[in-house]
Amino acid sequence: MQRTTHFRTGAILFLLPALLLFAAFFLYPVGYVVVVSLLNWDGMSSPGFAGLRNYSALFHDEVFRISIRNNLIWAFAEALIQVPLAIVVALLLARKPKGWKLLRTIYFFPHVISGIAITMLWGAIYNNERGLLNGFLRLIGLSEWEHNWLGGLGSAFPSVLVYGLLYIGYFMVIILADISSVSQSYYEAASIDGATRTQQDWHITLPLIRGTIATCVTLAMVNGLRQFEQVLLLTNGGPANSTSVLVLYLYKELQNFHYGTANALGTVLIVLGGLVILTVRRLFNAAKYDM
Amino acid sequence: MKINALLEKLLSRAILSLFLVYTLFPMLWLVMASLKTNVELLGDPFRFPAPPQFGNYVNAFKSAHLALLFSNSVIISFSATALNALVASMAAYVLSRYKFRFGPVIFSTLITGILVPVSALMVPYFTLIRTLGLYDTKLALILTYTAISLPLSVFIIKGFMDSIPAELEEAALLDGCDFYQKFFRVIVPISRTGIVTAATFQFLSSWNEFLYAMLLTSSEQVRTLQMGIRFFASQFTTDFTSMFAAIVISIIPSVAMYSLFQNQIISGLTQGSVKG
């Protein structure tokens, strides 16, 4: 009897720190974001109730519209370019060509290094005068293609967006792991029936790893919604707000003490994230979903 | 038939090499640039530095106070990692081994945290940290980092603990272990793989974190390395080569950690633990 009480105290003590931190950093903040998004507040003076005015102001705001468009482009670019590339590379590595383990390691490399370091590196590559890209164009005699990549209205957003899409290591590792768990007997049977490796990938592997692909698509799209560092460091949203994204806009509104709109932006982000998760889940109808 | 197979092989090689070059080349260029003089940098971008300017690294260390930033990052990342591992494994233990009424509800609520975009929570984090009187302290970042990845860590570690057979615990009970002894002497050592996987992810994300380091601190005394190289870039825009050296220095710990725990990271991803 004494032992049970003793164990109950232990269990409560063990759960408490996690629950406290979760309440302080997840439950309370999410509630706070939603409630304050309905207020007209600068964080100091007494707040007034604004109803949905913060939201209607956002939808009439050009920077918000650019930001949400850029974020959606980003989310879909990751889902439709990055994930398929990761699948192709994973399928190729699954055939275990020479050095595949080393390649797997190297492809993962950019995900270990901080986004800041990678982004600053690309800032140097895009740099107008001393950048690698313009230097390369000069070298191969295409100096008329030289361009102020991050300063041009048309080229800034594509430049900020595109380089990260080709870092496919993270999704590749997840997909490759799932491929290697597919039973070899399927492939043996297919080989006997005369199916080529590509046909096997198409008709056996891809359907069997559908759940993992759904997971990657979700992660990729949520990632596209969360983008921030690349934009902050390369262009700070410019030129003329053409590269702005939601998190950057939120950060700027916070700095201006527009707590109402900042939290309306936060709510939009949370809702968009939820929508992505539900939609992808439904689209793939993934029976084998982990959570 | 044979030609097809050959073509397929060539195509596959070409794709794999393309990604290899794309991943490696910019980094090699970074290291090369960090060893050049500023004049050399303006010239042919592909020429090797002659002779290599190791002085850039000395400059970076001196003018960016890299030693201070580095030790700040080490203190913050290691504390957050240790605290996260402890809190997460304690909670995971109770949720995995004890059946009680609200257990499943608590667990599923906790892990929905994996899907919350925490950058949306900037305003409440900012006010919370200020209310606690922690603004511009290392503790602010330690607490925030510990909490942000708690859901993921609990998820990973509970997964490992679920696979521990009940007999082991019963044996420990018979040997007279109490609740705490059972946890620290039996469960933690067995779940080592899971805990290390979670901790590795935690370390990398704390070391590389930027948004909250920028939002919750302001003075140089608590600045992290990631923030430092950003400031360095904006303050010393003429000294590009030292900036490259600073970036190389900031990358080294992550790369070291990755090399050390490479198999851990890959198997962590493999076991589906991050597939949330």
pLDDT tens readout for residues B168-222: 888 888 888 888 988 998 999 999 888 988 998 899 899 999 999 999 999 989 9
Q: What residues of A are in contact with residue B272 (Cβ under 8 Å)?
A: 177, 290
Phi-psi region of A114 (alpha: psi -120 to 50; beta: other; left: phi over 0): beta
| Residues spanned by the domain of B232 | 60-272
Nearest CA in chain B to A264: B120
Residue A287 pLDDT level (bands cut at 50, 70, 90): very low
In angstroms, what separates the C-alpha of B253 from chain A's closest C-alpha? 9
E strand residue ranges, A94-227: none
Q: Are residues B154 and B17 in the same domain?
A: no
Q: Are residues B129 and B41 in the same domain?
A: no
In angstroms, what separates the C-alpha of A154 from chain B's closest C-alpha? 24
| Mean pLDDT calculated for residue range A196-219 | 89
CB-closest option in A95, A177, A270 to B269: A177
Q: What residues of B are in contact with residue A112 (Cβ under 8 Å)?
A: 204, 254-255, 257-258
Residues in Cβ contact with A2 at an 8 Å cutoff, skipping those fewer than 6 apart: none
Long-range contacts of B27-35 (CB under 8 A, 24+ apart): B27/A109, B27/A121, B29/A125, B29/A132, B30/A121, B30/A124, B30/B244, B30/B247, B30/B248, B31/B248, B33/A124, B33/B240, B33/B241, B33/B244, B34/B241, B34/B244, B34/B245, B34/B247, B34/B248, B35/B241
Q: Are residues B138 and B204 in the same domain?
A: yes
User: Distance between CA B17 and CA B69 in Å, rounded?
Assistant: 37
Question: Where is the domain boundary, B27, B52, B77?
Answer: B52
Q: Which CATH number belongs to the domain containing residue B209 in this structure?
A: 1.10.3720.10
ipTM reported for the complex, 2 dp: 0.88
Q: Are residues B216 and B134 in the same domain?
A: yes
Q: Are residues B42 and B117 in the same domain?
A: no
Rounded to the nearest integer, the mean pLDDT of chain A is 89
Q: Are residues B187 and B245 in the same domain?
A: yes
Is domain A62-287 annotated with CATH 3.40.50.720?
Answer: no
Q: What residues of A are in contact with residue B121 (Cβ under 8 Å)?
A: 25, 29-30, 33, 266
Residue A119 φ then ψ, to 5°: -65, -40
Q: Where are the domains of chain A?
A: 62-287
Q: Are residues B47 and B66 in the same domain?
A: no
Nearest CA in chain B to A25: B147
Phi-psi region of A96 (alpha: psi -120 to 50; beta: other; left: phi over 0): left
Q: Would you state the pLDDT for residue A234?
A: 92
CB B206 within 8 A of CB B145: yes
Q: Are residues B176 and B268 in the same domain?
A: yes
Q: Are residues B19 and B115 in the same domain?
A: no
Q: Would you state the pLDDT for residue A288?
A: 47
pLDDT at residue A5 tops 80: no
Mark yes or no for CB contact B120/A139 under 8 Å.
no
E strand residue ranges, chain A: 39-40, 48-49
Q: Are residues B12 and B127 in the same domain?
A: no
Q: Are residues B41 and B165 in the same domain?
A: no
Domain count, chain B: 2
